[in-house]
Amino acid sequence: MSFSDLLLQQTINGLSLGAMYSLLALGFTLVYGILELINFAHFNVFMVGSFIGMWTLQLLGINGQAVVMTGLPLIGVMLLALLVTMVLSGALGVVIERLSLRPLRNVKGPAAMITTIGVSYVLFNIILLTVGADSKNYPNPLPPVQWAIGDAVLRLREVLIWAIAVLLMVALHFFVQRSRMGKAMRATAQDPEAARMMGVEVDRIIIIAFFLGSALAGAGGLIFGLYYNFTSFIIGFTAGLRAFTAAVLGGIGNVPGAMLGGVIIGLIEAMGGQFIATAWTDVIIFSILVLVLVFRPAGLLGRVAPNKS
Partner 1 sequence: MINHPITRRTAVGLAAGVAVVAAAFIQPVRAADKSVTVGLDLSLTGADAESAKRVEYGAMMAFDEANTKGGVNGYKIVVTPYDDGSATAGQYDPAQAATNARKMVSDKATVAAIGPQMSGAGKAMAPILSEGDLATITPSSTNPDITDPKFAAQYRPEGKAIYFRTVATDAFQGPYMANYYADVLHVKTVYILDDSGAYGVGLADAFQGQAEKKGIKVIGRDRLDPKAADYSAVLTKIKSLAPEAIYYGGVLQAGVKLAKQAYDIVPKMIKGGGDGVQGPEMLSAVGYPANEGWYATVASPHVTEDAKMAEWVKTYKDKYHVDPDDYAVTAYDAATVILAAIGQVTAGGKAPTRDAVRDAIQAVKVSTLQGPVAFDANGDLQDKTISVFQIKQDKSLPPDDMRQYHYIGVAPSA
Point out which span in 124-132, 176-184, 206-214, 294-302 binds partner 1 (CB under 8 A).
Answer: 124-132
Question: Which residues ranging from 154 to 183 are in contact with partner 1 (CB under 8 A)?
Answer: 155
Per the CB < 8 A criterion, the answer to whether 246 and 261 are in contact is yes
Our CB check for partner 1 shows the closer of 101 and 216 to be 216
Helix or strand run (H / E) with residue 146: strand 146-149
Our CB check for partner 1 shows the closer of 116 and 281 to be 281
Point out which span in 54-62, 105-113, 257-265, 278-286 binds partner 1 (CB under 8 A).
Answer: 278-286
- Count of residues engaged in binding partner 1, rule: CB under 8 A: 43
100 belongs to the binding site for partner 1 (CB under 8 A) = no
Q: What string marks each residue from 219 to 238 as x (binds partner 1 by CB under 8 A) or -? A: -----x---xxx-xxxx-xx
Q: In whole angstroms, how close is the CB of 113 to partner 1 at the nearest point?
A: 19
132 belongs to the binding site for partner 1 (CB under 8 A) = yes
Q: In whole angstroms, how close is the CB of 238 to partner 1 at the nearest point?
A: 5
Per the CB < 8 A criterion, the answer to whether 229 and 140 are in contact is yes
Of the candidates 185, 188, 163, which has an alpha carbon nearest to the alpha carbon of residue 176? 185
Question: Which residues ranging from 257 to 276 are in contact with partner 1 (CB under 8 A)?
Answer: 269-274
**Residue 87 CB burial class (10 angstroms; 0-12, 13-18, ≥19):** middle
Our CB check for partner 1 shows the closer of 69 and 234 to be 234
42 belongs to the binding site for partner 1 (CB under 8 A) = no
Of the candidates 231, 301, 285, 271, which has an alpha carbon nearest to the alpha carbon of residue 44? 231
Our CB check for partner 1 shows the closer of 125 and 307 to be 125
Q: How many helical (H) and strand (E) elements, i.e. helices and strands, does the chain have? A: 11, 4
**Residue 271 CB burial class (10 angstroms; 0-12, 13-18, ≥19):** middle
Per the CB < 8 A criterion, the answer to whether 219 and 27 are in contact is no
C-alpha 239/C-alpha 118 separation (Å) is: 18
Of the candidates 4, 53, 51, 45, which has an alpha carbon nearest to the alpha carbon of residue 26? 45
Q: In whole angstroms, how close is the CB of 14 to partner 1 at the nearest point?
A: 8
C-alpha 308/C-alpha 152 separation (Å) is: 50
Question: Which residues ranging from 47 to 66 are in contact with partner 1 (CB under 8 A)?
Answer: 64-65
Our CB check for partner 1 shows the closer of 177 and 238 to be 238
**Binding region for partner 1 (CB under 8 A):** 1, 6, 9-10, 13-14, 16-17, 64-65, 124-125, 128, 132-137, 153, 155, 224, 228-230, 232-235, 237-239, 269-274, 277-279, 281-282
